[in-house]
Amino acid sequence: MPVSVIKDFIEKSRLKSPWLVHFDCGSCNGCDIEVLACLTPLYDVERFGILNIGNPKHADMLLVTGTVNHRNKKVLKNLYDQMPHPKVVLALGACGTSGGVFREAYNVVGGVDKVIPVDVYVPGCAVKPEAIIDGVVTALGRLAEKRAEASASAKE
């Protein structure tokens, strides 16, 4: 019984303490500013246990802004690989989701999902703080789903 209590608490905690790492993958900085705005007193995402932790090795969520270009796609992949499971990825802004207005540029890969699997797409140019918070909450749902899938496949 105590073991299952602890396990339940850990499962609950996963949703209560999403730590973010935010990566500017060639953004115009418009979206970046909005990400930081989430931390300000107006939005105060720490209410939900959200911390911008700045280090993939500690993070549960990767927030990517910007178009992703041929130079920094390896960095994006690296950061993703350094995050421990379970983890989710959010592509922020028009650029992050699809490459946005830069899509046709010669150096642009065009979207985070070309490099790593993306769980939640948050549109906007720039993306609104409310939308980011909404995206994080949706991502928490994805996190729970992923856990359920993982434990189901572990049982099989």
Partner 1 sequence: MPDTLLFLLIVVPFLAALGCLLLRQEQLRSLIIIGTGGLLTLCALMLMASTPFSAAPKSILGISVSMLIQAADFFLLGVIGYYGYKHRNLLIQGLAVLQFVLLACFETFMVAPGKEYATFYGDTLSLVMVLVICIVGSLICIHAIPYMKEHEHHLQLEGSKQPRFFAIMVLFLGAMNGLVLTNDLSFFYFFFELTTICSFLLIGHDQTEIAETNAVRALWMNALGGAALLVGIMWIYSKTGTMDMQAIISAGPKAALLLPLALLCFAGFTKAAQAPFQSWLLGAMVAPTPTSALLHSSTMVKAGVYLVIRFAPAFAGTFLSLGVALAGAFTFLAMAVLAMGQSNGKKILAYSTVSNLGLIMACAGINTKAAITAAILLIIFHALTKALLFLCVGTIEQRIGSRDIEDMRGLLTAMPWTAVILVAGILTMILPPFGMLLGKWVAIESSSQQLFVIVMLALGSAVTVAYWARWAGQIMSVSSLGAREPELQPMLTRGPLAALLGGAVLLSALWPWVYNRVAGPGPGLANPASAAVMGFMIVVIGSGFLWAVNAMRQARTARMTRPYLCGAPENVEGTYVGPINQDMPVILGNAYFTSLVTEDRLTCWVNMGAGLMLVLMIGGAL
Partner 2 sequence: MKSLFLALIGMAVAPVVGGLVSGLDRILTARCQSRKGPPLIQPFYDAAKLWGKEVTATNPWQAFCAVMYLVAAAASVGLLCAGSDLLLIFFVQAVGAVFLVMGAYAVPSPYSQIGAQRELLQMVAYEPLIILTIVGIRLMTGSFRVDAVFALDQPLLFKLPLLFLVLGYALTIKLRKSPFDISACHHAHQEIVRGVYTEFSGPYLALIEIAHWYEVILVLGLVSLFWATSIAGMILLVAATYAAEILVDNVSSRMTWRWMLGSVWLSGLVLSGINLVWLYAR
Binding site for partner 1 (CB under 8 A): 23, 55-57, 74-76, 78-79, 81-82, 84
Q: Which stretch binds partner 2 (CB under 8 A): 27-35, 38-46, 96-104, 109-117?
A: 38-46
Q: Does 54 interact with partner 2 (rule: CB under 8 A)?
A: yes
Q: In DSSP terms, which residues pair with 96 in a beta bridge?
A: none
Binds 130: which of partner 1, ligand SF4, partner 2, none (CB < 5-8 Å by kind): none
CA 65/CA 122 separation, integer angstroms = 10
Binds 17: which of partner 2, ligand SF4, partner 1, none (CB < 5-8 Å by kind): partner 2
16, 71, 74, 77: which one contacts partner 2 (CB under 8 A)?
Answer: 16
CA 49/CA 151 separation, integer angstroms = 25
11, 130, 134, 145: which one contacts partner 2 (CB under 8 A)?
Answer: 11
Binds 36: which of partner 2, partner 1, ligand SF4, none (CB < 5-8 Å by kind): none
Q: Are 16 and 22 in contact (CB under 8 A)?
A: no
Q: Where are the alpha helices (DSSP H) in the chain?
A: 2-16, 30-37, 73-82, 93-98, 129-155
Give how many residues touch partner 2 by CB under 8 A. Answer: 28
Taking the complex as a whole, the smallest distance from the CB of residue 134 to partner 2 amounts, in Å, to 18
CB count, 10 Å around CB of 92? Answer: 31
Which tokens belong to 65? Answer: 């802004």
Binds 138: which of partner 2, ligand SF4, partner 1, none (CB < 5-8 Å by kind): none
Widest Cα–Cα separation across the chain? 59
Q: Please name which of 143, 86, 79, 140 lies closest in space to residue 112, comparing C-alpha atoms.
A: 79
Q: Does 44 interact with partner 2 (rule: CB under 8 A)?
A: yes
